[in-house]
Structure 1
Amino acid sequence: FVQTFSKNWAMTGWRIGWIEAPTALGQVIENLVQYSTSGSPVFVQRAAVAALDEGESFIAEQIARAAEGRRIVYEGLKATNRVSLSAPVGAFYQFFSVDGREDSRALALDLIDKANVGLAPGLAFGPGGEKGLRLCFARKSSDLTEAVARLQKALMAA
């Protein structure tokens, strides 16, 4: 079992986590990670301890915020009748494709110009993603509502 503090406790970039494994693998794991993960700064270690000791309410808030963000984005994009998408289950990204558009890079550039919303082109995620776009909904509801309104307008005009 490998876990990180990055997503659950919003410590992106702090590079701290933990591994639970059978004792017999201890030396193997130590050999693999000793040069790439050792030396976490003290403030990061203290933040990790605080997250474990006091962070359950933060996680609950994050989950509720992500659920609301997912609802706003999914329902807003679906309402255009121009996209193919499924509601994401375990992430804070909505992956979708726009009917009639094959080049996700060109579409992402087009939408940033027309809607002022940054989307990751699906081709960045490997084979099968070439037609899709990824939108992160780990944002305030008001930001997402505005972004979806802009996307709706741009998609309906295209």
Structure 2
Amino acid sequence: MQHYLRFYIKFHSYVIAVATIIGSIFLAAVLYQSTDFLYPLEEFYDYRYMGSVGLVFGVIWLTVGISLFYGIFKEEKKFVYPFVAMYMIELFLLVLRDIIMIWQNKRWYNMVFVNPFGVVMALYVTLHVMMTMIAMGKLIEHEPVAQPGTNFVRFNTENGQEQRHSVVGDEEVLVTD
């Protein structure tokens, strides 16, 4: 893969990770300072964004964002999965919220997937984030960062050919016949 394309994919992934970290800190701080922890039962459709549940989701998003940042930095695919899973859970909760709001005859402009502008933005952001995560996963899977110490080449002086030894440890490569 070309260097500029690798940089582009990693840059977008880093931007998503940093936005997740900053957004979760900001959301948790705002929820903690400006909301009550007791709500009327008829507003349960917004329960995800209220009080202690919102704070718990903020902490989970912070953890997921840090995991994503670490996974991009170390190029380990298993640290990217929590972000994708949490994003899908949030998307499911948003769809469920809209269904409940339709069922309760709430105003349509408060619903994300009923509002035309909201649905376009939600689809665009979801496609952009998921395609970036897929590209990042493929980048990590097919072009991992070169590991130091595993690229030793020994030239055989008898026939002019190079030989690659199997690496069990760094010391075995240095042992000559």
TM-score where L is the length of structure 1: 0.27
Rg larger for: 2
Report which of the two has the higher share of helix.
Answer: 2
